[in-house]
Amino acid sequence: MTEKDAGAPGLARLAALIADETRAACLLALLDGRAWTAGELARHAGVAASTVSEHLGKLVAGGLLAEERQGRHRYVRLADERVAHLVEDLAAQVAPEAAARRPHTLRASGAGSAMARGRTCYDHLAGRLGIAVTDALTGRGLLRQDTGFALTDAGLGWFRAAGIALTPTGRRPLARACLDWTERRPHLAGVAGAALCRHALRTGWCVRIGSERAVKVTPAGEAALSELLGIDPVALR
């Protein structure tokens, strides 16, 4: 094997690990950044608990999931932000095909609309909400997108003034572009995106709805985002 294709076996193993509908469903569910039990993921994927346990074991062994135990319960979560971006980027490639399929039920249609309106992507905001925030930051000169995402000095000042601490963790970039699979445009990720999402949920600007990743902006959030970023509340509904 030549040096040029030395990474081929590893890439093939990774692709095979993801190329299963049940495992893919589990990875997508875990994009909400929370830890799930095997039973919760089994119900979400529509398979038996014994079946999902086998799949989760493979994902943990492959380094895509991390597990922790509390008493009799076993929880799993995405291993890190790198895995989250891999899953989200792959989902963005198949979004047009998924969008072309009409929901079979009113409930599925409502859930899909809620996810498109606003959701968490691992630990940052996505959907129309994430794009609206990203566009507002950019329009006010707080975020640059010309050579990759980067906060400006004014942007760093905005986060400080809003009381949102930006604490670097490891080699994670301060600002990173993440391709939004419903909007087909990049939204803010990285340390800044995660800090903004935590702040929005902690202060009640946003609340989670349903059992998946969907979030909605509260009246308090509409007022805050209008005041701080000039976002029209109508765009957040």
pLDDT of residue 100: 43
Q: Contact 30/65 with Cβ under 8 angstroms?
A: yes
pLDDT of residue 144: 95
Q: What is the mean pLDDT of each run of 10 residues along the chain (237 residues)?
A: 71 91 91 86 90 93 90 85 84 60 45 80 91 96 92 96 88 88 87 95 92 86 96 89
Task: Give the whole-angstrom CA distance, residue 210 versus residue 222.
Answer: 20
pLDDT of residue 104: 47
pTM: 0.71
Task: Give the whole-angstrom CA distance, residue 216 versus residue 127.
Answer: 11
Q: List alpha helices for the chain, DSSP H.
A: 8-18, 21-29, 38-45, 49-61, 81-100, 106-117, 127-139, 153-161, 190-202, 219-229
